Amino acid sequence: MRGKGFAVKLLFFFLVIGIVMVFFSVSTDEGASKEVVLKSEKIEELFPAKENKNVEETSKYVEIVLSAVGDCTLGSDEKYSKYGSFDEELKKQNYDYSYFFREVKPVFEKSDLVIANLEGPLTTSTERADKEFAFKGDPSYAKILKEGKIDAVNLANNHSFDYGKRGFYDTVKALKEEGIGFFGYGYSYITEVKGVKIGVLGYTGYDDTAATKQMIKKDIEKMRQSVDILVMSFHWGEENKYYPNKVQMNLGRFSIDEGADVVIGHHPHVLQGIEIYKGKYIAYSLGNFVFGGNKNPKDKDSMIFQQIFVLDENKKIVEIKLRIIPVSISSEKDRNDYKPKILAGEERDRVLRKIQNLSYLNPLSLQ
Ligand SMILES: [Zn+2]
């Protein structure tokens, strides 16, 4: 009888071991399928690069990778309930500032310059502007940008003065303290990477009057003298509109006519198409990114817009390549957890197709 009891125990023991092994093999498989593969074959199928002259093979050429993302609101509206808010999420994460950009940081680390639109001040001011939506975050939130490997942010937008002039200058101070660059509203940003000088100008692009164009023309002319790559950032267009309006198109093309190398837009909170104009790219809207302004936006599609500039020994751009990395602004489907994730599989293909369909102006096949 004892023998039989022992045999039953032994059988039970192996059964338990077996279940544990099956469980682990399943979870390992799951982990593997979740791994994000940043292959770009498909992207290049969609957006074939220009005929390559084997430029990478010779060392006299240098490649600069620019990554740009859309609206980042680090904080929220005081009028919102705390539940599910940006600030609550940070608290939940024990004030781990690296939480928000964690999933996309590997892409940024491999970039030479990373820019975003900072949609809202970082301030302790309590003087909320009298408007429907007014955002703010604590000045310490500049650390989120630092942790996320963001190099510089656009300040020219409709939320920078949500807490007045003080809110704006608190933001500038907070960014400076963390070594984050900024541009727009009188500021421009110039940096040097791999011996290449890159400059960024930021504007709100709500009108295309002669005065606006004159200002842009003058700024480009001046900056062009000291940089090799000139990037334009525009806060423009209409909210929740998937197609650019005439002002966006006019200002975007005008900027390139005057000497910009790429035009990057934001504000509509959704993606808009990309146009190739005179061999250069205009990305009309990058959508949201780390966006504390909405606890659950219906459309969570976004992208990391990359421009790969190839320059020759005279620092002249000889080739510009486009790479799109489709993103969801939230890792969770039914709410915003403020942690953008890189899409894979069908979702990735869907967002790529969407961008391609939105790029109706000049279908991306001009090569
Ligand atoms: Zn805006």
pLDDT digits 0-9 by tens, 84-107: 999 999 999 999 999 999 999 999
147 and 57 housed in the same domain: yes
Judge whether 364 lies within some domain: no
Report the percentage of the chain scoring pLDDT > 90. 81
* Cα torsion through 348, 351, 352, 355, rounded to 10: -170
Residue 367 lies in a domain: no
Residue 363 domain-assigned (yes or no): no
With a cut of 50, say whether residue 48 has pLDDT above it.
no
Question: What is the C-alpha separation between 232 and 205, in angstroms, rounded?
Answer: 11
In the reported structure, the alpha carbon of residue 268 is separated from the centroid of ligand 1 by a whole-number distance in angstroms of 7
The secondary structure of residue 228, as a DSSP letter, is S
pTM (two decimals)? 0.84
| pLDDT band at residue 167 under the 50/70/90 scheme | very high
Asked if 181 and 56 sit in the same domain, the reply is yes
Say yes or no to pLDDT of 50 above 60.
Answer: no
CATH number at residue 321: 3.60.21.10
Residue 132 confidence class, pLDDT cut points 50, 70, 90: very high
| Res 362: pLDDT | 66
| pLDDT for position 41 | 37
Identify whether 365 is part of a domain: no
Pair of tokens at residue 60: 């006299």
Number of structural domains found in the chain: 2
CA torsion sign for 336, 342, 346, 348 is positive
For 203-262, how does the pLDDT look when each residue is reduced to its tens digit (9 = 90+)?
A: 999 999 999 999 999 999 999 999 999 999 999 999 999 999 999 999 999 999 999 999
| Closest to 263 in 3D by CA, of 239, 279, 280 | 280
Span from the CA of 44 to the centroid of ligand 1 (angstroms): 31
Residue 29 and residue 93 in one domain: no
Q: 43 and 22: one domain? A: no
What does the pLDDT read at residue 14? 53
Cα 365 to averaged position of ligand 1 atoms, centre (Å): 30
Are 185 and 240 in a shared domain? yes
Same domain membership, residue 228 and residue 139: yes
DSSP codes of every residue in 12-75: HHHHHHHHHHHHHHHHHHHHHHHPPP---HHHHHHSPPPPP-SGGGSTT-EEEEEEEEEEEE-S
DSSP characters over 184-198? BTTBEEEEEETTEEE
Residue 361 pLDDT class (50, 70, 90 cuts): confident
Question: Does residue 122 lie in a domain region?
Answer: yes
Residue 242 domain-assigned (yes or no): yes
Residue 26 shares a structural domain with residue 65: no
Please write the tens of the pLDDT for every residue from 261-270.
999 999 999 9
Q: Which residue did the predictor score with more confidence, 337 or 43?
A: 337
CB-based burial of residue 218 (10 Å sphere; 0-12 exposed, 13-18 middle, 19+ buried)? exposed
How far, in Å, CA of 146 to CA of 94, rounded?
Answer: 17
Residues paired with 291 in a beta bridge: 73
Q: Where are the alpha helices (DSSP H) in the chain?
A: 2-34, 41-46, 86-92, 105-109, 142-147, 164-178, 210-224, 246-257, 345-358
185 alpha carbon – ligand 1 mean position (Å): 14
Give the CA radius of gyration of the chain.
Answer: 24
Fill in the DSSP letter of residue 286: B
- Per-residue confidence band for 5, with pLDDT thresholds at 50, 70 and 90: low
Token pair listed for 176 = 């400076």
| Residue 196 and residue 85 share a domain | yes
Q: What's the domain range around 322?
A: 39-358
CA of 205 to the centre of ligand 1 (A): 11
Same domain, 3 and 108: no
Rounded to the nearest angstrom, the distance between the alpha carbon of 195 and the centre of ligand 1 is: 34
Domain membership of residue 333 (yes or no) is yes
Q: What is the whole-number distance in angstroms between the Cα of residue 364 and the centre of ligand 1? A: 27
Are 9 and 147 contained in the same domain? no
SS3 content of the chain, % helix, strand, coil (to 5): 30, 25, 40
Per-residue pLDDT, 114: 98
Q: Ligand 1 center to residue 106 CA distance, Å?
A: 27
Q: Do 352 and 250 share a structural domain?
A: yes
Q: Is 62 a domain residue?
A: yes
Is there a single domain that holds both residue 78 and residue 16?
no
Angstrom distance (rounded) from CA 331 to CA 333: 7
Output the CA–CA distances (angstroms, integers) from residue 339 to 74, 102, 104, 178, 344, in the order listed. Answer: 12, 7, 9, 21, 16
Check residue 243 and report its DSSP letter: S
Q: Reply yes or no on whether the pLDDT at 34 is more than 70.
A: no
- Which phi and psi angles does 281 have, rounded to 5°? -105, 140
